[in-house]
Amino acid sequence: METWLWIIVAVLILAAAAYFWRKKCPSCNERGCDKTGSFVIRTERGQSLRTFTDRTKDRDGNVVSTTKRDVLVTVERQLVRTDWSCPKCHYEFSEQEWREVDQF
Ligand SMILES: [Zn+2]
């Protein structure tokens, strides 16, 4: 294919990705809702299992072996509320999701 054809294909894929990435309105099913606000409504402390990899090196600095270990880390979980507004039908809705923040 010609180079310009590849560029057009790339632009189309990007445009489609940008379209589908936009928020869908639960009322009128149109995409393109605006984020009107985002804030933390609850914070909790918890523990989360993480896997760390230790590398053993020889004198020349070459990795000779790797060991995986599971470590319990203290995390902060935040319940985040995001508000959305639909510019087409003016429907307003919000979503809640938990986010993990590492504590050191
Ligand atoms: Zn809508």
Q: What is the distance in A from the centroid of ligand 1 to the CA of 33?
A: 7
pLDDT in tens, 47-72: 888 899 999 999 999 999 999 999 99
Q: Is 27 in a helix, a strand, or coil? A: coil
Counting the structural domains of the chain, the total is: 1
Has residue 19 been placed in a domain?
no
Question: Is the CB of residue 88 less than 8 Å from the CB of residue 30?
Answer: yes
Q: What is the distance in A from the centroid of ligand 1 to the CA of 27?
A: 5
Range of the domain at 81: 24-102
pLDDT in tens, 14-35: 999 888 888 999 999 999 999 9
Q: Where are the beta strands (DSSP E) in the chain?
A: 34-57, 63-85, 92-102
Has residue 2 been placed in a domain?
no
Pairing of strands 34-57, 92-102: unpaired
Has residue 9 been placed in a domain?
no
Has residue 17 been placed in a domain?
no
Has residue 14 been placed in a domain?
no
Q: What is the distance in A from the centroid of ligand 1 to the CA of 9?
A: 30
For residue 31, what are the CA distances in angstroms to 52, 93, 94?
40, 14, 15
Has residue 18 been placed in a domain?
no
Has residue 66 been placed in a domain?
yes
Q: What is the distance in A from the centroid of ligand 1 to the CA of 29?
A: 6
Please give the model's pTM, rounded to 2 decimal places.
0.57
Q: What is the distance in A from the centroid of ligand 1 to the CA of 85?
A: 8
